[in-house]
């Protein structure tokens, strides 16, 4: 089973995604977000780590394709932080929208090619709020929305988490 878990920030997505693999012995937890030297970010990462079973392996990488190629159950948390890292690492925040879109589409295609049973992906819903004031926010919103559609199409189930409640779409 391939599952995409989506919802708003702090909605309970990660807890739900973790519960889907809680009975598995060897899970690779992929943290694809940007590396930050930020106390708040470090505290958030520490809370997530403390909540996961000790026998799960954590893989911090921006190479989502390689991470998804890992045998056995894989949990990716989350596609939004992966997208941020992807654009950061490629230095594309100020590039033409068409160029950024093409690059992200290639990366999404590559990652989708590695999806296998036992993969759970976490992502954020970003299109339900106000239109971001800045170009980077609009670019991120649009790219993540498009990536979410592509990953959802490749998954067997999509779970929407709202206030800790799960709706299977």
In a domain, 118, yes or no: yes
In a domain, 168, yes or no: no
- Number of structural domains the chain divides into: 1
Q: Known binder of ligand: residue 129?
A: no
* Structural domain range at position 151: 2-161
- Could you write out the DSSP letters of every residue in 10-64? TSSHHHHHHHHTTT-SS-EEEE-SPP---HHHHHHHHHHHHHS-TTSEEEE-S-H
Residue 50: CATH number of its domain? 3.40.50.300
Q: Known binder of ligand: residue 46?
A: no
The whole-angstrom separation of Cα 110 and Cα 64 is: 9
- Residue in 91, 82, 14 with CA at minimum distance from that of residue 47: 14
Catalytic residues: 48
In a domain, 154, yes or no: yes
In a domain, 169, yes or no: no
Quote the pTM value.
Answer: 0.93
In a domain, 108, yes or no: yes
Structure token pair of residue 122: 């976490």
Q: Known binder of ligand: residue 11?
A: yes
Q: Known binder of ligand: residue 60?
A: yes
Q: Known binder of ligand: residue 99?
A: no
- The pLDDT tens digits along the chain (169 residues) read 999 999 998 899 999 999 999 999 899 999 998 877 778 877 877 787 788 888 899 999 999 999 999 999 999 999 999 999 999 999 999 999 999 999 999 999 999 999 999 999 999 999 888 899 999 999 999 999 999 999 999 999 999 999 999 999 9
């Amino acid at each position: 089973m391939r599952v995409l878990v989506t919802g708003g920030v702090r909605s309970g997505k990660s807890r739900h995604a973790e519960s889907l693999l809680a009975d598995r012995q060897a899970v690779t937890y992929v943290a694809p977000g940007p590396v930050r030297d930020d106390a708040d970010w470090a505290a958030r990462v520490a809370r997530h780590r403390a909540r996961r079973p000790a026998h799960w392996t954590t893989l911090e990488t921006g190479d989502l394709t390689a991470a998804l190629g890992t045998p056995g159950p894989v949990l990716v948390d989350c596609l939004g932080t992966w997208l941020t890292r992807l654009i950061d690492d490629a230095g594309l925040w100020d590039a033409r929208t068409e160029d950024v879109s093409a690059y992200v589409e290639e990366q999404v295609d590559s990652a989708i090619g590695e999806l296998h049973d036992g993969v759970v992906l976490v992502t954020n819903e970003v299109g339900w709020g106000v239109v971001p004031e800045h170009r980077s926010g609009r670019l991120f919103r649009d790219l993540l929305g498009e990536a979410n559609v592509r990953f959802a199409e490749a998954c067997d189930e999509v779970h929407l988490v709202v206030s800790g409640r799960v709706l299977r779409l």
